[in-house]
Amino acid sequence: MSRIMIVEDDPKIADLLHSAIEKYGYEVVRVRDFRLVLQEFEEMRPELVLLDVNLPSYDGYYWCRQIRKISTCPVLFISARDGEMDQIMALENGGDDYITKPFHSGIVLAKIHSHLRRAYGEYAAKREELVLEKEGLMLYPERLELQYGQAVVPLTRKESDLIESLMERYPRVASREALLEKLWDPQAFVDENTLNVNIARVRKKFQELGMEDAVLTVRGSGYRLNNSWSEVES
């Protein structure tokens, strides 16, 4: 059963969409706190998002850009704005389709079904899973898993992004600025200790794989992936 996430601050419209989509056999989840759209997206892991443009705090274009940093799932905008520029903005900010209000629920359901088929069904492009490998260490960003030998540990999205950056830069140093830019939106205020906390969590994941000192701090620069696992075996 595909999971559809509704990001709509008008309760009546959200209720209408929820009822119609659920009757069609999909699982429906709704964002309640519009300050935490990306966080709820990561927790809910939907296959498709219905996204309003006019939202509290940040508009739908902003949230679509954030979703696109971590997912390629279909995003369908639903908005009362019917201007040509609004639809262009939706597509340029990562949207896959644009539905104007008022809408017919049958059209919405048909578009949901069509985009799900293109993304995951018989029309989906066949491709190999993305895997990053360094010295036998395997990162699966789409599964959010880190593997070495037969041992596997689960990751959060930010842990996976951090490890991916370290692996891409290996054996060079990944600067603090580059890591902050990859993990957080430039407009967001990020406390200096936030990166330190996430690095500490990444180190614990390596330790769960039996790897000590896998991430080294390079004072004044950033962090570097250290091939301590091969050194132990040699």
- The pLDDT tens digits for 83-109 are 889 999 999 999 999 999 989 999 999
pTM of the model: 0.61
Lowest mean pLDDT among 60-69, 138-147, 148-157, 224-233: 224-233
Rounded to whole angstroms, the Cα distance separating 52 from 61 reads 9
140-176: per-residue pLDDT in tens? 987 889 999 899 999 888 899 899 999 999 999 999 8
pLDDT band at 233 (very low <50, low <70, confident <90, very high): very low
